[in-house]
Chains A and B, each alone.
Chain A
């Protein structure tokens, strides 16, 4: 599903960061661990096609994403990659349901209200569909973010420190949701974190030094 080969990224005026080769099977779940500054977020952005590496390659579902044009990459990412960020950001002017709808239309899918409703219900926030996102609690917001990452049924879900802002209870809940929902959707899950609380949840680990 996801393959990297001799991936290397250089920030201007800094030594290059080399990343170990990654090979994730379809449906597998991974934890990407490392200290701050080890390039975790950079790697996640490279994997999601938000940044282009100077060296090496990333292929998702057999497609070398470096070969795509900017616009094609945007579309490809929208359809095949769902990303959950450390802090959940939404389009403020839209409701929860409309945010998910937008995620679908931007990826080129139909808005499919049934899918949105069932997804939110599965995540226990079905009653928040018409709420504005900034009215939700942090835990609820993170769940909406997960729903948004899942809404287009992508093959790959990337999560960047999804739990660092949450308390223990919410942390456990969000992680188990990510795990179970990715399983239901059959998506490959990669969680980037330095959160020690997550260590025991996943068997596959990539450690950056």
Chain B
């Protein structure tokens, strides 16, 4: 009979107490592992999606909101900007700007955002490749992210109608014309791109122009100027889109110029939502000054994704710290539960310990036996904890995907989980020390005579 199987049998002989101890220990470990998994994956996703963008230029409002909406596609945009205003940055000869990619945001299909942009968004910003089909070319053609295709069961040639805004409430559907047509599906990138529907900027204008034409007579005129002052208000931002588009529509009413393949600068009075900028030299003095110049001298807002995200981390960090402290307390309590479990079981088994000494077990053997029991509990509790963590993460990933527009994996393992094993073993060992020492000191004769 090996010490291990003896320890194991001693534990499993009291299944209820064992399960209680394991559950408590597993909860502590699981909570910590969950925090690690969540933190690491969030961190990773945010970093992946920085995608080498140095600056985002958009309408004035909250810079963080602008970053979240344009980079991570979480929040609503701050508003729209006219192409006239950003024309200089779109000039390929701009001394500081190496790459400027326009984004038009505001519509969605079943909670996936439809982004009006250029091909550079796919190849230069995310370095993504087309899995099947092709990138959009004509107005109303879309290329969709891998997750969109999978989750919405969309294939090349499928058509759908977009809805206004980002919620899928079926109220604001643009139910006109043929709708969008899928011409390509991107390979998975493990970035927010997987969740997006991409088309050209003209398509976004076209959808709203079309709609505006229908509604124009009663709405367009009175609300025309409302937009500029309401940049902070999400609800109104959508209205802004409308109003301005109505405006143009009223005057132009001509779909012909929307044909693809003309540079955006040909439409100075049209609007986009933001411009993603990559510098030629991001350490250059002029590049460092560029955001401030924009913010102080124009009606535009420029913000650095890295700076804004760091700001967000420092805010969120407090909550994570609190959770981590909570998890640590739970682990300590669960360590205590191992201690109590061993301590009380040894009280009942005092006579057994003396008996084992009679049968030839040394003091050290008894010490080892009890430590082994602590370690067995710790390892099992750890395994239970990991199981809880990964099952929990899988369940949680469903909610998180809706909230953050990313896929989270419940079955990814991190090296921190290995460290956690050492932590659990250490805790099991320390919890077992006092009971083990007690077992070590068992006086055979006194115990057997009942003194």
Residues of chain A whose beta carbon lies under 8 Å from any beta carbon of chain B? 41, 45, 48, 50-51, 70-71, 74-75, 77-79, 83, 85, 89-94, 98, 101-103, 105-108, 111, 148
Contact = CB atoms under 8 A, between A and B. Distances in A.
B349 A75 contact: no
Looking at B2, B352, B359, the one whose CB has the most chain A CB atoms below 10 A away is: B359
Contacts of B95: none
A200 B365 CA distance: 42
Interface stretch (B69-77, B124-132, B152-160, B441-449): B441-449
Interface residues of B, number: 25
A92 B1 contact: no
Given A70-B363, A89-B351, A93-B9, A102 B358 contact: no
9 contacts: A45-B444, A45-B445, A48-B358, A51-B444, A77-B360, A78-B359, A79-B360, A91-B10, A107-B359
Given A91-B352, A92-B349, A98-B1, 20 more contacts: A45-B449, A50-B448, A51-B444, A71-B362, A75-B360, A78-B358, A78-B359, A79-B360, A91-B10, A91-B356, A92-B13, A92-B352, A98-B9, A102-B1, A102-B6, A102-B356, A103-B360, A105-B1, A106-B360, A108-B360
Interface string B353-371: 0011111111111000000
Contacts of A75: 360, 362
B6 A50 contact: no
A149 to B, nearest CB: 10
B358 A77 contact: yes
A55 B354 CA distance: 24
Contacts of A98: 1, 9
B430 to A, nearest CB: 24
Interface string B89-101: 0000000000000
Interface of B: 1-2, 6, 9-10, 12-13, 349, 351-352, 355-365, 444-445, 448-449
Interface of B is mostly: helix
Nearest to B351: A89
B370 to A, nearest CB: 14
Looking at A45, A75, A93, the one whose CB has the most chain B CB atoms below 10 A away is: A93
Contacts of A45: 444-445, 448-449
Contacts of A83: 358
Contacts of B448: 45, 50, 85
A173 B299 CA distance: 107
Contacts of B364: 71
A201 to B, nearest CB: 25
| 6 tightest A-B CB contacts, nearest first | A78-B360, A93-B13, A107-B360, A106-B360, A51-B445, A93-B9
B444 A102 contact: no
Contacts of B6: 91, 93-94, 102
Nearest to A104: B1
B361 A94 contact: no
A74 B449 contact: no
Given A41-B449, A111-B1, A71 B363 contact: yes
A91 B355 contact: yes
A46 to B, nearest CB: 9
A64 to B, nearest CB: 19
B110 to A, nearest CB: 58
A102 B369 CA distance: 13
Contact of A106 (B13, B351, B359): B359
A140 B59 CA distance: 90
A196 to B, nearest CB: 22
